[in-house]
Amino acid sequence: MAIQTRPQAGGATAAPPELAITAHDLVKTYRGGIRALDGLSLAVEAGTIFALLGPNGAGKSTTVRILTTLARPDAGSARVAGYDVVAQPDRVRRAIGYVSQKSAVDPEATGRENLTLQGRIYGLRGRELRQRVAELLERMGLADAADRVAGTYSGGMQRKLDILMGLIHRPRVLFLDEPTTGLDPEARAELWAEIARLAREEHLTVLLTTHYLEEADRLAHRLAIVDRGRTVVEGTPEQLKGELQGHTIRIELAAAVAEPRIQAALAPLPGLREVSLRDGAIYARADSGGAAIPAVLAALEASGVPVAAATVARPSLDDVYLRYVGRALDAATGKETGR
Amino acid sequence: MTSLAHTWHMTGRHLRNFSRQPWYIAFSLVQPVIYLLLFGALFKRVVELPGFATTSYVTYLTPGIVVMSALFSGGWLGVSVITDLERGVLDRFLVSPVWRGALIIGRVLQTALVTVIQSLILIGLGLLVGARFAGGAAQLVALIAAAMLLTAIFGALSCAVALALRKEESIIGVVQFLLLPLTFLSSVFMAPALMPGWMRQLARVNPLNWAVELGRAQPTAGDGSLLLSRGVALLALAAVATWLATRALRAYQRSL
């Protein structure tokens, strides 16, 4: 779990970082006994972008639904922007913006009308509202399409409008539930840039869920890997990758070989850890990949294992995910893939 | 004050979306117009039987068709809730501080206003084929008010059912099943005196029938107490139905 407050050295009285979101032991069971959340906890510092990373069904959306007051937890507690999500839902609602997993634009209204109505709900009026709407549409590049019915927008444009609707009332905390799922890579990269810029300009705390490792790596200051309704590990992307010391070695095999034979061949090598075989390649970790490779290749050759190629890489979030969840995350579909 | 403002904005949303598809009015009037013209012609001489207070069947029928059309408009309102639900629009509003009642009342008010337009068209058509309103403008106002209240009652109930069932096919099934029996178990087409006893009993507790009675009453000819009792009953029912629909909205959110 995250360290929420660090003791200050020398008795200095610097304030601990302000937490915009805290959740403790959230539990949620749906009808039919499906346990979506099983004691999930997290803490997000104000002004940062935090990512919940995990496969479909891990409990990410349920967490967001509880933190945004849409759903209620069966047990546990959570505070957002200083307010309790169960006891003070109205206070929470005024302080947050929410962009759901599925687009929630009204396709029969124009972009401007969608935004204007959303603003009015929060009490914005008159000139102030008109200016805010125009300014947001301009910033997301939707100004030209503003008076077209949103049903005619592309998926990427609808997603942008969704995000603007979450921002219209200048919330302190913004929840983005899989903001780029279903977008093509170009639209996705564009939206990442927009989200990062808006978060900075609007001094937002952002909690986003994703099953794209790259998205978490690119956007998030901190991330938590969620699996089966619990937080498995939490930290900055750099910390998490750093915990996997050294390098990842990948040896592509020229022909299929049984895993026990590989384990037997590589077991005697000192400094080689977490040896595994998946998709026709050997994966292992070593403090220094460059130093380990000659011994690995020699051992494989001695055992008659045919090698096609060998690479050494710094650990990626993929490796982090694999290590903590024990399964690989297929970023294209968000589905777990067996080893 | 916030609740009023939110209701105003939500009504505005539905009215604006409606104004983009004005042909909906024509579509929604097909069935009532067929009933008015074909039944009006087919049963022209039914008024010769004792029990009708008029000698013109279209005069008897037109208020009934106006009210039936109002029932249909209200009955299908739940489909718009399902649409909002499936598009995620409902959840977006539920995460906002919008007054929950506005999510129901906004669409009920819009539909009631559409009912006014439908009623005026049907009344005009009725006049063209020979219907007369002995109570004059006062009778027409009472008829349209009754139609609006009936739309509100069944519109809110339809929203409540939609929030409970959450599937378009289910709500369509329920509404299909109810609309025609409700219409025929009333004095829309036939004078109560000529109905079988059991039907007359059922018609007495049918809100649709209250609205028809209200629409046929002659405010200037001593039907004041009938107007008052039916009006109050419809108003109370509209309030209860709206409250029920708001409860259904909360129940929906609790199930998330």
Q: What is the mean pLDDT of residues A227-231?
A: 92
- Would you state the pLDDT for residue A329? 63
In angstroms, the CA B68 to CA B82 distance is 23
B89 in A contact zone (CB under 8 Å): yes
Residue A106 included in any domain: yes
- Which of A71, A98, A108 is closest, CB to CB, to B17? A108
Residue A308 included in any domain: yes
Q: Mutate one of B92, B93, B98, B254 to test the A interface: name it (highest A CB count within 10 A).
A: B92
Calculate how close chain B gets to A38, using CA atoms only, in Å. 16
Which residues of B fall within a CB distance of 8 Å from A105?
87, 89
Question: Chain A residues within 8 A (CB-CB) of chain B?
Answer: 31, 65, 68-72, 90, 93-94, 96, 98, 100, 102-109, 113, 117-118, 120-123, 149, 165
Same-domain pairing of A223 and A294: no
B5 in A contact zone (CB under 8 Å): yes
Domain boundary among A240, A272, A297: A240
Same-domain pairing of A212 and A284: no
Same-domain pairing of A125 and A251: no
Same-domain pairing of A226 and A101: yes
B132 in A contact zone (CB under 8 Å): no
Same-domain pairing of A153 and A251: no
Q: What would the two tokens of residue A201 be?
A: 């300009």
Could you tell me if A163 and A105 are in contact, meaning their C-beta atoms sit under 8 angstroms apart? no
| HEC letters along B176-216 | HHHHHHHHHCCCCCCCHHHCCHHHHHHHHCCHHHHHHHHHH
Task: Return the CATH number at A54.
Answer: 3.40.50.300
Residue A151 burial (CB count, 10 A): 12
Give the number of A-B residue pairs with CB atoms closer than 8 Å.
64
Q: What is the mean pLDDT of residues A95-113?
A: 95
Mean pLDDT over each residue of chain A, to the nearest integer: 87
Same-domain pairing of A137 and A253: no
Same-domain pairing of A20 and A77: yes
Q: What is the mean pLDDT of residues A279-286?
A: 86
Same-domain pairing of A235 and A147: yes
**Whether pLDDT at A337 is above 70:** no
What does the pLDDT look like over B109-138, one tens digit per residue?
A: 999 999 999 999 999 999 999 999 999 999
- Would you state the pLDDT for residue A188? 87
CB contact under 8 A, B96 and A121: yes
Comparing A182-186, A261-265, A327-331, B1-5, which segment has the lowest mean pLDDT? A327-331
- Would you state the pLDDT for residue B221? 72
Calculate how close chain B gets to A154, using CA atoms only, in Å. 15
- Which of A69, A102, A121 is closest, CB to CB, to B98? A121
B17 in A contact zone (CB under 8 Å): yes
**Distances from the Cα of A131 to the Cαs of A141, A164, A201, in angstroms?**
15, 13, 17
Domain boundary among A204, A220, A240: A240
Q: What would the two tokens of residue A254 be?
A: 């020229």
Domain extent at residue A271: 245-314
Domain boundary among A240, A263, A283: A240
Domain count, chain A: 2
3-state secondary structure of B255: coil
Same-domain pairing of A119 and A219: yes
A95 membership: H or E segment, kind and range: helix A89-95
For residue B38, give the DSSP letter: I
- Would you state the pLDDT for residue B225? 87
Question: Domain segments of chain B: what residues?
Answer: 2-254
A251 membership: H or E segment, kind and range: strand A247-253
Residue A331 included in any domain: no
| For B6, nearest residue in chain A (alpha carbons) | A121
Calculate how close chain B gets to A114, using CA atoms only, in Å. 9
A248 membership: H or E segment, kind and range: strand A247-253
B28 in A contact zone (CB under 8 Å): no
Calculate how close chain B gets to A56, using CA atoms only, in Å. 17
Residue A330 included in any domain: no
**Distances from the Cα of B213 to the Cαs of A13, A259, B19, B139, B216, in angstroms?**
78, 85, 32, 11, 5
- Would you state the pLDDT for residue A332? 41
Residue A4 included in any domain: no
| For B11, nearest residue in chain A (alpha carbons) | A117
Same-domain pairing of A55 and A167: yes
B250 in A contact zone (CB under 8 Å): no
Q: At what angle do helices B57-75 and B136-165 cross, to 10 degrees?
A: 30
Q: What would the two tokens of residue B9 be?
A: 């904005």
- CA angle, corner B192, sides to B189 and B196, nearest 5? 100
A307 membership: H or E segment, kind and range: strand A307-313
- Which of A98, A102, A107 is closest, CB to CB, to B95? A98
In angstroms, the CA B221 to CA B223 distance is 6
Q: What is the mean pLDDT of residues A242-268?
A: 86
Q: Are strands A230-235 and A49-53 parallel, antiparallel or unpaired?
A: unpaired
Same-domain pairing of A256 and A305: yes
**Whether pLDDT at A303 is above 50:** yes
What does the pLDDT look like over A7-48, one tens digit per residue?
A: 434 444 556 678 999 999 999 999 888 899 999 999 999 999
Task: Return the CATH number at A256.
Answer: 3.30.70.980
Which residues of A fall within a CB distance of 8 Å from B88?
100, 102-104
Instruction: Name the residue among A334, A78, A52, A300 with its Cα closest to residue A181.
Output: A334
| For B12, nearest residue in chain A (alpha carbons) | A117
